[in-house]
Structure 1
C-alpha cells in the first residue's frame, strides 16, 4: 500500500510540473520580445498608424477648425493614433514636440509651423530617424527640401492678389485710397503672402496710400486694440485690410466704437481672409465687404498623402488648395449654411 501511495504521489507531482511548464511557455509566447516598446510614451498603438501633430495654437476660428479637421480624421476608428501638441504660438514648443515624436517613434509627423524659418536642425533629426514629415498650412524655408516629404495648404500670395484685384475693380472711383493694414503673425506664410499681395497693389496703384501697417497677431483682441489706436492717429482711413477674420471682427468693433460705419455703404471698406462661417455671416450682414477663402480642412488631405506613402507612391511635393472669395453684394445664406467651419 505504501508503495502504491508513493507511485501515485510521484505521478501527481509530475503532472503538476508539466502543467506549470506549459503555462509558462504560453505566457512567453503571448508577450513577444519585439513589442512596440519604442512607442510606449505615446500609448500602446497596436496595429494603428501613429501620427504626431504639432499645431501652432488656437489663436483664431480658422485654427480651431483646422485642429478639429485633423482630430476628426485621425481617429482610432479610422486606424490611427493621434498624438496632438498645442505649441501655444511658440516655435520652441514645436521643436520640443517634434523631438518627442521622434523619441516615441511615430510613423508620421505633421507640422503646422509657427514661422517659416528655423527648422533645419530638428527636421534633419526626423529625417535621420526615417520619419516622413508633412507640412500643413504655413510653408517652411529650409536649406534642403528633402527635410520634409510634402506640403499642403493655401497660396497666400494668390489670396492677397485676389483681394487687391477686388479693390481695383470696386474702389476705382476713389482717386485716393488710404489703407490700414492689420498683419498676422510676422514671419508666418499667411502674413508674408497676403502682405506681398497688398504691397504689390499699393506699388501698382499710385493713388493708394498705406497709412499704417501693424500686426494684430491674428487675434480679435489685438486687432481691435491696434485699430482703436490707428483710428486716433489717422483722420482719413478708407480701407482696412485684415489678414484674417478674427482681426476683422476686432477692427469692426473699433470702427463702430469710434462712431463710424464699417463695410458695405460705410465709412471704411473691410477686406478679410479665411472665410470662416462667422466671417461669412459678417460678410452677409455687409460688415465685411470682401472675404477671401482659406480652407482649413486639411485632415483628409493629409490622410490622402499618408495613404500614398503607405502604397509606396510619391505624393506631390507642394499641393495647393483650390479656394474662392465672397463679396457682400452677392453672398447668400445658402453658402453659409453649407459651410463646414
Structure 2
C-alpha cells in the first residue's frame, strides 16, 4: 500500500507540474487561439490626437475584421503608463500577438521583456522604440521619419535657393520624446543645413494636435515679428497654424509658407486651396500589412526586422489632382 500511494503521488505531482509548466509555447502560441485557429491580437493605440491617428485606427480595425483576427483594442489617450498597463493585460490574457504604436521611444524594456518571457511576439507599428533588451519585438512597420523630415527640408532649400537670407523658420514639433518628432526634426535639420541662410528661430511641441499647433503658432507670431516658413510635423498642427496666421491678419501659404507631414484629407484640401505649400505623405493605412505580419510571426515564420511603408510628396497642383481619390 505504501508503494502504491507513493506511485500515485508521483503521477499526481507530474500532472501538476505539467499543468503549471513554463507558460506559453514558443512562437507566440500563447493559448488564446480558439479551436478553429483564430488569432487574437492585443493592440495598444497612442490615442486619437489627429486625423492621421483616426485613419490609422480605422485601418487596423477594418483589416483585423477582414483577416479574421480577434482584435483586443486599447486607446492609451497619449499616456505611456496606459500603454504599459494594456500590454501587461494582453500578456495576462495570453493573446497570440501584441502590436502597439509607442507614445514615446524609451521606457519599454521591462514590459517588452515580460511579453518575450511569456512567448508572445510583439510588433511595433508607426513608431519605434529604444530598448536595451534583445529580441523583444519581431519587427517594426512604419514610415522612414528621417526621410520625411529631409523631404520637407529639401523643399525649403529649393524654394530659397536664390535668397541670400536670413530665412526665419519656426517648427511645430510632435509629442516630446516620440519617434516621429525626434526623427523628423533630425531629417529637417540635416536638409536645411545645405543653406546657411535658413534658420530655425523657434521650435516647440504642439503635441500633434490642431489646438496645440494653433496655440504655439500664436505664441510664435507674438514673439517673432518676421516668420517666413512654418515646418509642422503633422497636418493637424499645420491646420492650427493656419488659423493663427489668419487671425493675425496674414495669408497662410503666401505671407508665411507652410510645410507639413501626413497628407490627410484636410491637409491636402488646405494644400489644394493654397493655404499650405508642400506636404510629405505619411501613410496611416497600415492595417492590412500589420495583419499579414501578425499571421507570420504567430506561425513562427521569419519576417524582416523593419518594414518601411512607401510615401510620396505633394505640391499644390498635385494635391488638387489626388484629392478625389484620397482614402483618408
The answer as to whether partners of 2:153 and 2:189 remain within 8 angstroms in 1 is: no
Task: Name the TM-score, length of structure 2 as normaliser.
Answer: 0.87
What are the ranges of 5 or more consecutive residues in structure 1 without an aligned counterpart?
1-32
Of the three residues 212, 215, 223, the one matched with 2:213 is 223
Normalised by the length of structure 1, the TM-score is 0.84
Give unmatched runs, 5+ long, in structure 2.
1-18, 25-31
- Within the candidate set 139, 143, 161, 1:172 is matched to 161
Alignment-derived partner of residue 322 in structure 2:
335
CA distance in 2 between counterparts of 1:109 and 1:242 reads 31
Distance 2:184 2:298 in 1: 35
The offset of 1:244, in angstroms, is: 0.3
Give the match's secondary structure for 2:318. Answer: coil
Report the alpha carbon displacement of residue 169 of structure 1 after superposing the two structures with TM: 1.3
CA distance in 1: counterparts of 2:170 and 2:248, whole angstroms: 15
Paired residue for 1:268? 256
Q: Aligned pair 1:148/2:137, yes or no? A: yes
Q: Aligned ranges for residues 244-263 of structure 1 at < 5 Å? A: 244-263=234-253
The CA distance in 2 between the partners of 1:313 and 1:46, in whole Å, is 21
Secondary structure, aligned partner of 1:166: helix
Distance 1:300 1:145, change over 3 A: farther
Contact 2:96/2:298 (<8 A) preserved? no
Map 1:177-326 → 2, pairs under 5 A: 177-263=167-253, 266-326=254-314
Q: 1:213-248, CA deviations, whole angstroms, 9 ceiling, x for partnerless residues? A: 100000000110110111011011000000000000
Cα offsets for 1:86-113 (capped at 9, x unmatched): 0010100000000000011100100110
Q: Which runs of 4+ in 1 moved over 6 A?
A: none
Once the two structures are TM-superposed, the CA of residue 206 in structure 1 deviates from its matched residue by: 1.1
* Structure 1 equivalent of residue 89 of structure 2: 100
The 3-state SS of whatever aligns with 2:244 is helix
Summarize deviations over 1:260-296 as a string: whole Å, max 9, x none. 0111xx1100000000111111111111100000011
Q: How many equivalent residue pairs? A: 298
What is the rounded CA distance, in whole Å, between the counterparts of 2:219 and 2:155 in structure 1?
27
Say whether 1:114 aligns with 2:114: no
- Contact residue 138 and residue 297 of structure 2 kept, 8 A: no
- 1:160 Cα shift? 0.6
Return the offset for 1:145.
Answer: 4.0
Task: Report the secondary structure of 2:98's partner residue.
Answer: strand
Q: Which has the higher contact order (CA 8 A, sep 6+)?
A: 2
The 8 Å contact of residues 291 and 326 in structure 1, kept in 2 or not, is answered as: yes
